[in-house]
Amino acid sequence: MESENSSSEEAKGKHLAWWGSIAGVCLMITLGSIFITRSYLERQRYERENWRPPYLGRLEDDLPAVNRTGEKVSLGQLRNKVYVVGYQYTDCPAGCLGLAAVMKSLERDFGSEPQFQLVSISVNPEGDTPEKMDAWVKKKGVDEANWWFLTGNPEAFTRYMLQQFKLYSTEKITDPAMKAAQGEFAHDQRLVIVDGAANIRGYYDVMNVQYGQHEIDRLRRDLKLVLHPELKLSDVQAVEPPTP
């Protein structure tokens, strides 16, 4: 009888030990899951707060040009600057004026930043002489010291905008009605942010009929974050999703 009781106690002990092991494993799994989930959520929160506009490319080569003042310049001189680039030309009847208005608003808000620069590159450098560009700038009220209006070699400009900036190719408009309304050239109307290391940090379709304001808001947010790496995402104005 004593032997039977001893065997029964031993069996109970093994049974309890087995369930204790199972409980211990379950507890470890639960604690591990909590730790992993918490770490994941903390990482997500950190990445969200420290989000920055992505690196979408890099300007590997320089672009020699002539500013509207007649001064010879190049994009390489803008290293350590954060600049916004637009593709424009002086004979454009509509779209370029809209781009210039958006860029003017950026100059108004960011012009006091020592790193900030605006660059307008001519779609039609053959027709846009420095003198013509300078007259257009003054007439349109966008005569700012930190805003370059560049002209230069047509082939070099076209190649650079396609290969380096990855902007869409420009096409000549031949239909008389379209030409009267839109100008001689159909060109990419996005604005581009370039950081101080010549990295492209964003493309913004600010002239989009449906989503233009959303793109402008996104441009402003991203520009502020590139200019000020110390800022958190919560420090800048949130960008609402575009309205369908």
Place of tokens 């650079």: 160
Is the sign of the CA dihedral 6, 9, 11, 17 positive or negative? negative
Residue range 109-127, pLDDT digits in tens = 999 999 999 999 999 999 9
Residue range 162-199, pLDDT digits in tens = 999 999 988 887 888 777 777 788 789 999 999 999 99
Q: Which long-range contacts (CB under 8 A, 24 or more apart) does 66-69 make?
A: 66/130, 66/150, 66/151, 66/152, 67/130, 67/148, 67/149, 67/150, 68/130, 68/133, 68/134, 68/137, 68/148, 68/149, 68/150, 68/151, 69/130, 69/134
Domain 57-229, CATH: 3.40.30.10
DSSP letter for each residue of 32-75: HHHHHHHHHHHHHHHHHHT------EE--S--EEEETTS-EEEG
pTM greater than 0.85 (yes/no): no
The answer to which of 34-48, 69-83, 118-132, 188-202 has the lowest mean pLDDT is 34-48
